[in-house]
Every structure is written in C-alpha cells, then in structure tokens.
Chains A and B, each alone.
Chain A
C-alpha cells in the first residue's frame, strides 16, 4: 500500500525504457520502408523500397548468410554449453570453467572477434607457431580464413561469446532443478550421468533458458560488429548492409535500409518460430526415446568432448588476449616469427590522446547508463510486482538492434534531437537495463524478507530498510550487476554509431573504425583498452565487498 504509487511509477519507467524505444523504432522503420520519408521528400505508401532492396544483387546471398551463420552459431553454442555442463558438472573442471565465466562474458564482442582474427588469420599466431617447420610457409598463405564466404570465422567468433552467456543462463537455472539429487536417483536406475542429464535435467533447464536462446538466435542472425571483423564481404550479412546504407551520405539509401530492417525482423521472427516448432518436435521425440528403457551407455563416452570444448574456449580466450596484448606493444613483427623483434610502448603513445578521449566518453556513457539502469531495476524490484518482466526484459534482446535502432535514428533526426551524448546514453540504457535486471533479480528475491519485517518492527521506513539493510547486504550482487551493465555498455557498437550519428566515439566504435585498415597495432591497442574498461568493474565487484565486509563472515559467500 504505502509508497507503492512512487515505486509503481518506476516499474512503469522500466517498461517505458524497454518497450518504448522498440515500438518507436519499429514505427520509425516501417514508415520509410513503405516509402514515407519526408526528410528526403518522399511520401508513401509504396513498395518501392522493397523493390529496390530485392533488385540489389547481393540480397539473396546476404539473407542466406544471416540465416545460416545465425542458426549454426546458435546451435553450436547451445550444444557446446550443454555438453560442457552435462559432462563436467560437479567436477573440478566445472569450477574452472565457472571461474572463467565472468571475465569471458565481459570481454566485448569486438575485442573477442579481433583476438580470434589475430589467432586464425593466415598471418596470425597459429600460422606463425606452425611455420615454417610444419607448414613450409615463409610468407602468409593466400587463403581467406578471416572473412571466408561461408562465414565460418564469423560463426566461431559468435560461439566464443555465446557459449559463456548460455553457460551462465544454464548455471542460473540449475539450482532450482536440484541436479545432484536427480542425477543420483537416475544413476540408481542405471543411467550414466550424461544420459541422465539429458533425460532428467535438460528438459527442466530448457524451459528456463528458452528466452536466452531466442536472444542468442536473434543476436547471431543480426550481429554487426563481429561480422565487420570476421564476416565475409562478398556480400556481407543483411545487418551489415543495413548499417552501411544507414550511414551512407546518400540519404535515399535510407528507405532501402528500412526495407532491409523489416526483412531482417521477418527473418528473425520466422527463424525463432521455426526453432520453437523444432523444440516441440524434439520434446515429442524425447518422450518417445525416454521410456524405451535403453540406458544409452555410449553417451558417457562424449565426456572428453565437453572437457575439450571447455578447455578450448578458455585457451582460445586467454591466448587471444595474450596475442592482442603482444601486438599492442610489438615492435617489428615479421612473418613467420612467433614473437616480435622487440617490445615498446610506441603504439600506446601514438594513440594516447585518441585513447584518452574515447575512454572518457566510454566511461561517462557506461557510468550514466548503468546508474540509470540500477535505479530503475532496484525500484521496480522493490515494488515487487513485475512477474511479467522476464518476457519484457528480453524484448530489446530479441528484436534485433538493426531493426529498431535505424528507426529510432530516423525519428531522432526528424525531431532534431540527434545531438550530443544524451541520446547515446539513453540508447545504451535500453540494452544495459535487461542485463542489470537479469543479474540482480535472483539474489534480490533470495534476500530473506524477514529482515525487512525486523527493520520495520524496529521503526524503520521501507526506504531506510532499503538503504541500511537490503542494499548493503546485497552489495556483492549489486556491484556484479553494475559490472555486467558497464561491460554491456562498453561493448555496444550500433547504439553509439547510429544514435550518436557518428559524432560520439567510444573505444568500441574507434576499434571498429580501424577494422578495415591493416594497422594491427592500433587495433590491438584499442581492443585491449576496450577489454580493460569492461573488466575493471568486475575486479571492483569482486574486491570491494571483500574489503568492506572483511570482518563480516556472514557475508563472505553472499
């Protein structure tokens, strides 16, 4: 009763931040897609933009590429993360993977993509390590590994980032399913851990990771930054082209971009629908296979795959980061030398002023977007009603950025409000908010609400209980949510590029601007800085509570 009007307002605020821009962006993209674009002197409705889009020679291959890379990346990520959990859960390897999750997750997509490129390119670290003694190469081979026409490099780059995300979602869902007891009782019936996991644990987990999977699917089909770094250019995937047309000085290309965005939305919705149908089918098949009584002992033999996949992920991440770091300080580094001739800080000095400018904008945007997200999320959680919020927070993650951000940009330009850093911060908030919510919601609900009753019985108002009891006791999850929010903001590319109209530059937009050039040292410097900006908050989130509560044993695991 008390104080609810105010807090209700914040719940409304959260809904407004999540659904408002998506809906506005959809309107802003539908109008020009059907030829209504007053800024270019066009009034609709007409199908001309769609005709124009389908007359563009690259349309077929770019649609095919979006669908295949998105589907393969999602399937591969899902299978790998399931196998990793099923085979290693409860073992020491699992703890190792778990410990690496937060840092792997926080590494921005662009930095991960660059580090993969630096590893697997014909002149990359792997080729150097094997040359010339194993390969016979004394110059980089002339093969297209990064940017291959089938998009395998793109898929690999996506998998590296999506597996940690899905692992985290699976881990969050696990405790409610009580896997140890389930596995034990299945073992007593003669099922090995892998088949027991897939028959008894997985179906219950899947229900809870369905929305994250749809988000991964939508993201993988429409990703821009990773595709710019690792994806093919002959032609690029549909989303990359949408962004290219949106950024073109020729304003008439905007209607084609809008039509492309509508097609992109249709693609994502169809593929998600198809995935949903496939889920039903698998469930039916699963029910047929389950009671057959066969124990599927062969399944136990896949455990090395899980262990290997987990290891490969960690090794790729760590080596990739190492190679990036090495490039940022490398002197002359000719092929096929495994190590550079010398080490110097010249690259860092050369970019110092650009780095400083981009870093300060990155930090300001990330800080303000995360602070706003935290206020909205805490207020909404405090009002304790948003049961339907789970679907809602996935809205900006399932509707692709390339679908509604161009529309938002068009609307902002129309309203003459596309100026300065403010709109960029607001655009980051749309994507920071869901992650802050998802990180905080479970610890928040797990807090024993009897502490609030005790506080009230001791004469404290709900606000005082919030600030003197609940937030201090939840310091660790709150800081983790802040770290996740900051990492998400640091990694954002499209909101900064499209909403900032090219006038706001962060570490991510700077790094991507360098992607098409060949200056490896510059790329490495910006990608390392970007990674550090995303990782630093995690270090604080781990270290600060340990410091503040060093004499409080009751909070050491909270």
Chain B
C-alpha cells in the first residue's frame, strides 16, 4: 500500500466526544466515498486530512500520502487539493487570475499563460481567461474551480459534495469530467456526498459514517 492516500486510525474529536473514526487506504486513481447524514463528521474529517481543523476540534491518527507521513505538515505543504460544493472562485481575480493562483510557481510569463489557456480549453472554456468569474454560469464556474485545483498539481484530492449545487443535466456531465480526470491523473480521492448517484459514478469503496 505504498502509492495513494492512507488514513491510519484517523479520529476527530470534539472535546472528549468522538465525532468520526476511519482507517482506510485510497489507491492512486481510485475514489473513496464517505456517506452519512449531516453532522456525521464528514466535513470535519476532510478538514483533518488537509490539516485545518476548526478550533474546538482535535484529531488523532496519521495521514500518509505516497509513503510519506504528512500528519505534521501545514495544510499548504500537504499538496492535497480541495473542492467544495460552492466553486469559491476568488471574486477579486479574473478567471485566468484564479487559475494562475493555482498554477505551481515557475516558468516564464508566456509559458504560464499557455498552461492556463490549455487548461481552459481542456474544459471547453477557451477564451474565458479575462472574464469576471461572477459572469460565468454555475457549470462553467465549477469547471474553473476544478482546473484551478488540478493546476496546483495535487497528489490527492478531497471533494466535499462538489456536485450538489449543479442541476441534474450538468451533474452527470461534470461527474464524468471530474472522475475521468482523477483516473487519468492517478489521483487518490476522498469524496463526501449525500447523493448515492455520486457514489455510483465514483465507482470505489463506499463507507457509511452514519452507522457506528
């Protein structure tokens, strides 16, 4: 179990109360789906994996990524990408600015611009670079958010109900795009969702956190 994301006896507590406990390995390119009712601690678990638990919560156990223990690392050094149900595009930057924020440092100005243009083209948004994110449709914004994350070259991906705000036609299309990219890039992924359709499309292991 070398490559991939390992959650070793990861426990999130609120004071003395145990909110959630998990012990699982996610192989490269596969998706672990966490389901369960609201308040089951799904989002807290994601926060523990990226190392940004809100104050009041504590965690135990270890997080390993590609044979490296990253438990003690700051969130920005873990190289774990994160997508929420809201696209959370930075409203003060253009579409290209958002992508450039994600894109790893390095390369000349033209090289970076080319990478951003390529990323936009890949999700059918060629020429959208100068646009204000607020003028994009929900589906377009979701795709920009996805590419922003992928351009940062994450080694694993966490998805927090990423499709729940999209309407049904768009949902299928976006699911295919996201899971296709995860497979082709070989990213170990943890998906949190309410929607059994998401779990089905993801195709990996499903853990129901509601049943203890």
Contacts and interface: CB of A to CB of B under 8 A. Distances in A.
Given A384-B55, A468-B101, A554-B133, A457 B149 contact: yes
Given A468-B101, A472-B92, A456 B132 contact: no
A451 B88 contact: yes
B75 interface: yes
B77 to A, nearest CB: 8
Contacts of B88: 448, 450-451, 454
Contacts of B120: none
A384 B54 CA distance: 11
Interface string A537-558: 0000000000001011111001
A2 interface: yes
Given A453-B50, A554-B133, A459 B92 contact: no
A553 B82 contact: no
A458 B77 CA distance: 9
Interface string A421-453: 000000000000000000000000000101111
B152 A458 contact: yes
Interface residues of B, number: 32
A457 B134 contact: no
Contact of A459 (B79, B84, B134): B79
A475 B91 CA distance: 12
A553 B132 contact: yes
B81 interface: yes
B90 A458 contact: no
Size class of the contact patch on chain A: 20 to 34
B85 to A, nearest CB: 10
A344 interface: no
Given A456-B76, A459-B79, A552 B101 contact: no
B91 A454 contact: no
Contacts of A552: 91-92, 132, 134
A459 B100 CA distance: 12
Contacts of B101: 455, 458, 460, 468
Q: Which of B81, B82, B91, B149 has the most CB of A within 10 A?
A: B91
B86 to A, nearest CB: 7
B52 interface: yes
A150 interface: no
Contact of B75 (A385, A456, A472): A456
A473 interface: yes
B104 interface: yes
Contact of A450 (B74, B84, B134, B148): B84
A457 B55 contact: no
Interface string A376-409: 0000000011000000000000000000000000
Contacts of A456: 50, 52, 74-76
Contact of A554 (B75, B77, B80, B134): B134
A469 interface: yes
Contacts of B77: 459
A458 B135 contact: no
B139 interface: no
Contact of A453 (B75, B102, B133, B148): B75
Contact of A454 (B79, B84, B92): B84
Contacts of A457: 50, 75-76, 80-82, 149, 152, 154, 158
Nearest to B54: A449
Interface string A342-364: 00000000000000000000000
A385 B76 CA distance: 22
B86 A459 contact: no
B152 A473 contact: no
Contacts of B132: 551-554
B106 to A, nearest CB: 12
B92 A473 contact: yes
Contact of A555 (B55, B91, B135, B148): B91
Q: Which of A460, A554, A558 has the most CB of B within 10 A?
A: A554
Contact of B90 (A2, A451, A462, A558): A451
Contacts of A461: 74, 76
Interface in B132-158: 132-135, 148-149, 152, 154, 158
B140 to A, nearest CB: 14
B76 A459 contact: yes
A458 B102 contact: yes
A473 B91 contact: yes
A453 B85 CA distance: 13
B148 A458 contact: yes
A555 B94 CA distance: 12
Q: Which of B52, B77, B90 has the most CB of A within 10 A?
A: B90
A532 to B, nearest CB: 30
B74 A2 contact: yes
A552 B131 CA distance: 9
A286 to B, nearest CB: 35
Nearest to A459: B76
Q: Which of A452, A454, A473 has the most CB of B within 10 A?
A: A454
Interface in B51-98: 52, 55, 74-77, 79-82, 84, 86, 88-92, 94
A458 B98 CA distance: 11
A465 to B, nearest CB: 8
Nearest to A550: B132
Contacts of A549: 92
15 contacts: A448-B86, A450-B84, A454-B82, A455-B101, A457-B50, A457-B75, A458-B148, A458-B152, A459-B79, A459-B104, A473-B90, A552-B132, A554-B89, A554-B133, A554-B134
Interface of A: 2, 384-385, 448, 450-462, 464, 468-469, 472-473, 475, 549, 551-555, 558
Given A448-B88, A450-B86, A473-B90, 19 more contacts: A2-B74, A451-B88, A452-B52, A453-B50, A455-B101, A456-B52, A457-B76, A457-B149, A457-B152, A457-B154, A458-B101, A459-B104, A468-B101, A469-B90, A473-B92, A475-B92, A551-B132, A552-B91, A552-B134
Across the A-B interface, the 6 shortest Cβ-Cβ residue pairs? A554-B91, A456-B75, A553-B134, A457-B82, A554-B134, A456-B76
